[in-house]
Structure 1
Amino acid sequence: MNKSEQINELATALAKAQGELENAAKSSDNPHFKSKYADLAEILNTVRPVFSANGLSVSQCPSFEAGIVSVETVLMHRSGQWMSSVISAPVSKQDAQGVGSAITYCRRYSLAAVAGIAQEDDDANSAVGHAPRRQEPQAVPKPKVTTQQVEHLRQAITVAGMSEAEWCASIKIPGLDSLPAEKFGGAMDYIKSQAHAA
Structure 2
Amino acid sequence: MKNIATALVAAQKAFGPALKTSSNPHFKSRYADLAACVEAVIDALNANGIMLMQQNTECSDGVIVETVFLHESGEMLSSGKLHVPASKQDPQGYGSALTYARRYSLMAACGIAPEDDDGNAASRSSGAEDQAFEAQHLDALRDAAMEGLDALQAAFKAIPASPAKTRFWTKHQASLKGAAK
TM tier, shorter chain? 0.5 to 0.7
- TM-score calculated relative to the size of structure 1: 0.56
Matched residues in 2 for 1:112 and 1:102: separation? Answer: 15
Question: What is the SS of the residue equivalent to 2:114?
Answer: coil
What CA deviation, in whole Å up to 9, does each residue of 1:125-178 have, x standing for no partner? xxxxxxxxxxxxxxxxxxxxxxxxxxxxxxxxxxxxxxxxxxxxxxxxxxxxxx
CA RMSD of aligned residues (A): 1.5
Matched residues in 1 for 2:91 and 2:115: separation? Answer: 25
Contact 1:72–1:86 (CA under 8 A) maintained in structure 2: yes
Q: 1:120 to 1:62 in 2, by over 3 A?
A: farther
Question: What is the SS of the residue equivalent to 1:86?
Answer: strand
Considering fraction of residues, name the structure with more helix. 2
1:30 aligns with 2:30: no
Q: Structure 1 stretches of 5 or more lacking a match?
A: 1-6, 122-198
Residue 57 of structure 1 deviates from its aligned partner by 1.0
Residue 105 (structure 2) aligned to one of 102, 110, 119: 110
Residue 23 of structure 1 deviates from its aligned partner by 1.1
Residue 92 (structure 2) aligned to one of 93, 97, 105: 97
Matched residues in 2 for 1:87 and 1:66: separation? Answer: 14
Residue 46 of structure 1 deviates from its aligned partner by 1.7
Contact 1:36–1:120 (CA under 8 A) maintained in structure 2: no
Q: Structure 2 stretches of 5 or more lacking a match?
A: 117-181
Structure 1 stretches (4+) deviating beyond 2 angstroms? none
Question: What is the SS of the residue equivalent to 1:88?
Answer: strand
Match of 2:171 in 1: none
What CA deviation, in whole Å up to 9, does each residue of 1:2-53 have, x standing for no partner? xxxxx11111111111111121111000112211111001111221111100
Match of 1:182 in 2: none
Q: 1:120 to 1:103 in 2, by over 3 A?
A: farther
Contact 2:62–2:85 (CA under 8 A) maintained in structure 1: yes
- TM-score calculated relative to the size of structure 2: 0.61
Contact 1:23–1:117 (CA under 8 A) maintained in structure 2: yes
Equivalent residue pairs, number: 115
